[in-house]
Chain A
Amino acid sequence: MAKMIDSLLQGFRLHRLNRLRDQRSFLENYLPILVKAIRDREARRTALWNERAEAALRGPAILADIATPALAAEKQAALAKIEERYRWRFKALAQSKKRALERSADPAVETTFAHRAEELESRKRQTLTKCALRFETPLERSQSDLAAAKEAYRLKSEAVQAKAEKRLTLEKAKADRSVAAKTASYESKIALLGNKIEAVRGVLIARRSADADSMMPEDVLLSVRNLSMRFGGLLAVDNLSFDVRKGEIFGLIGPNGAGKTTIFNCITRFYRATAGEMLYRKNAVEVIRLNDYPVHDIIRQGIVRTFQNVELVWELSILDNLLVAAHTVYRTGFFGQLFHTPKLRREEEVMRAKAFSVLNTLGLLPYAFAIPYGLPYGILKKIELARTLMAHPRLIILDEPAAGLNDKETEELAVLIKKIRDDYHATIFLVEHDMGLVMDVCDTICAISFGKKLALGTPAEIQADKLVRSAYLGEES
């Protein structure tokens, strides 16, 4: 009885720990987005004030015959626009002339058109002069008047500059204050959560029953024990055991039909294993039996898988596909979604930022808004990989990631797999047919044949193993 209550309490603590962690990770991720929004607003307002200052100085500058850079640029643009307009008019004239000449070879035509061209030319000159005048003072003035205007401009520009500077410093101070306040408040919240997390974790670890450790050594993430899977008369997996250690890249190899996919489907609970159990270290204090979880809860334990034949949502953009993979991370309930509450919007922003960072890591940014239809197979495979990174994975299971890829893409994939392991601190379990890839990236390999384990060891050991060689040579010959 006491033991049951104890385990119940531990369960509550774990639940609380996870919630606190979620909250903390949300705050941590949302802060940069908030800061960026404040800075963007500051930049927008700064640009606005600068524009206003320029606009206020325009009149006095014209009066004082001073070509400020802004004025000069504006004048040049206006003149260029007129030039362009007349260029088209001249082209139209040339075209009419050509057509008129086609109709009749009268020499009068030539002269008429020469005349019209001259007229157009003079009109153009007039327009240009008039336009230029807009940027000069129209008044006939004595030297002293001009000097006075220049002085007025100087005063005005000083005043405007002082005002703009004041505004800009105010704007900057406001943004800084706002950023500082938000950062401080978020950081204090994060620190508070951190303390709570530590406290709960402390209790959890202190009360941890000895079972967890006795069940599984500390550094093992997944332990498959005496797994068997029977399809009717066929024993596809036969009493198989192996351990996957934290942070390693573990490869499961075997000839076609050896039972690799079946093992994989047992771990991810698509198949119900006939016998045996799969233990998984969910976190520092908890070891769970995967046998007790339904398929759609596996990802919540931190186990994510890919599919051999790419399974994307074809109607959604790549970005949205990544958001689908983050499904379990969302905390907003149905009604929050129905009304698109600010909470949902904040969550969406955090997820999108995360998705962009994942896409960036895998070099997929150019495809963020593309629809998967018609993208190259290599890219689709990478998107599958990207999806696994959205839901805080601890164990990533890849089903024949190299299938259908050419040699170059396979090499890229090897680099990527290592990168994912290092950047996302995940353990990788890969089921593969391509020996090159497996030998290249894996730390430990388990070779099976007809559902039975042939050998388990480092790539070098596997390559030297007699049984493995015969199984593979047997297949290949």
Chain B
Amino acid sequence: MTTLRLSFDRIRKQLASIARHPYFGFLAFGSILVVLRLLAIGGVIPNSLMKSLVITMIYAIIALGFSLLLGYGGLASLGTAGFVGLGTYFIGHFSGTLGYPFAATLLISLLGAIVLGAIVGFISLRIEGMYLAIITLGLSEILREVFKSFTAFTNGVNGLGFRDFALFGLPVSDTAVDFIVIFVFILIILGTLNIIKSPTGRALLAMKNSDSAAQSMGIGLMKYRLLAFILATIYAVIGGLLYMMDQQFSIPTTWSLDFSLNILAAVVVGGAQSITGIILGTFMIFGLNMTVLKEIAFFREYPDATWIVSGLLIILITMFYPGGLIRLIQAIRFWLVKTGKKLKRKWRIHRYGEDD
């Protein structure tokens, strides 16, 4: 019996060490998403809720890329929308209209992202801060004009549809797309985690804190600025590919400044350096009105009022928790622990009298 207890102890210790691994939380989160999707198949939860969660995940991928830029590299950009839009047209045109295999589309998209990211990265070496943001905004608007006018590529202002998506010759159903999104989302989270916990992540942070200190430690500005922009662009383009798979439609009006600003807000509100924070932030900006508010009668009557709620939340959080939602969560956790301790103490005094 004692031997049994010993082995239990060992198993418990091992489980605890697994649970402490940084991947654990995110893998568990992914499993929950998969279970939710399965429940939606079974009809336990509404399909519309699942749809909103899937699109939120896609936005969260884009936001994660943006956080590498803003939260780690300290670089401002308002060009996100254009890059995401480009991703949607890449898949819509090459896999949809032209019927290329998906691998070719992916390759083209990644190359496109690298070239574009490198261009913006080079610009960022000369122009910094607010001006850089404005230039990226301009770039994004140029892209939008391209989307409008290059009708052979984008079908112009009428929008481009994308149906009958096939992978390796097999048709992919809507449900399968959801699983793909979940899978890519978790992969991207783990990859981001690896990057920020490696010399590259630390180099980006060093660059954000001080250009000159970073350079004196051998961190070349050119390499890391380019890298930050290329990564953010790749994330955005991947987001675009997934968006097209999920929504099956892309129209230039979607890829306006609003979209970029919403991503920016999601990152800032969530907490620019925390993956959990950014997921929460994205949910707050994009997911909340689609899942929760939509169920409230008032908002069904005035759907635009949901933006007022988002706006208010942004103002409140940035006012009281400049570090983002993640700070709020930490504060709540801290408060719960503290209150728990206080209650326990009160109960002790009630039951056992003052300490001796």
Contact = CB atoms under 8 A, between A and B. Distances in A.
Interface stretch (B163-171, B217-225, B235-243, B305-313): B217-225
A210 B197 CA distance: 47
Contacts of B212: 270, 295, 307, 311
A94 interface: yes
Given A51-B6, A91-B353, A94-B353, A296 B205 contact: no
Contact of B353 (A95, A297, A339, A391): A95
A313 B352 contact: no
B227 interface: yes
B314 interface: no
Contact of B209 (A98, A305, A314, A330): A314
A179 B139 CA distance: 59
Contacts of B198: 332, 337-338, 340, 344
B6 A98 contact: no
Interface string A335-362: 0011110001000000000000000000
B202 A55 contact: no
B6 A55 contact: yes
Interface string A274-298: 0000000000000000000011111
A325 B3 contact: no
Contact of B205 (A52, A297, A315): A315
A327 B206 CA distance: 10
Contacts of A80: none
A11 to B, nearest CB: 20
A185 B273 CA distance: 43
Interface string A49-65: 00110011010000000
Nearest to A397: B216
A323 interface: yes
B200 interface: yes
A60 to B, nearest CB: 12
B35 to A, nearest CB: 27
A268 B216 contact: yes
A92 interface: yes
Contacts of B195: 337-338
B233 to A, nearest CB: 15
A262 to B, nearest CB: 14
Interface residues on B, range: 20 to 34
Contact of B215 (A296, A325, A334): A296
A169 interface: no
Contacts of B353: 91, 94-95, 98
B210 A334 contact: no
A328 interface: yes
B217 A327 contact: yes
Contact of A327 (B218, B221, B350): B218
A325 B205 contact: no
B2 A58 contact: yes
State the majority secondary structure of interface residues on A: helix
A327 B209 contact: no
Interface string A37-55: 0000000000010011001
B194 A296 contact: no
A52 B3 CA distance: 7
B216 A305 contact: yes
A88 interface: yes
Given A55-B6, A311-B209, A320-B202, A337 B194 contact: yes
Interface string A297-323: 111100011010001111110001001
Contacts of A315: 205, 209, 273
B221 A323 contact: no
Interface string B3-29: 100100010000000000000000000
Interface residues of A, number: 46
A52 B6 contact: yes
Contact of A92 (B202, B210, B220, B351): B351
A340 B202 contact: no
B284 interface: no
A92 to B, nearest CB: 5
A98 B349 CA distance: 13
Contacts of B273: 315
B344 to A, nearest CB: 13
A328 B215 CA distance: 11
A95 B353 CA distance: 6
B215 to A, nearest CB: 4
A58 B4 CA distance: 13
A220 interface: no
B206 A324 contact: yes
Contacts of B50: none
B42 interface: no
B213 A92 contact: no
B191 interface: yes
B203 interface: yes
B217 A325 contact: yes
Contacts of A344: 198
B102 to A, nearest CB: 22
A104 B218 CA distance: 80
B43 interface: no
A346 to B, nearest CB: 13
A45 to B, nearest CB: 12
A354 to B, nearest CB: 14
Interface in A385-423: 387, 391
B210 to A, nearest CB: 5
A55 B218 contact: no
A294 B125 CA distance: 15
A270 B215 CA distance: 9
The 4 closest A-B pairs by CB, nearest first: A311-B213, A328-B218, A337-B198, A299-B218
Given A52-B3, A296-B214, A324-B219, 10 more contacts: A51-B6, A58-B2, A270-B215, A299-B218, A314-B209, A327-B199, A328-B218, A332-B198, A338-B195, A391-B217
Interface of B: 2-3, 6, 10, 191, 194-195, 197-200, 202-203, 205-206, 209-210, 212-221, 227, 273, 350-353
11 contacts: A55-B2, A56-B3, A58-B2, A296-B218, A298-B218, A300-B218, A324-B219, A327-B206, A328-B217, A337-B195, A340-B198
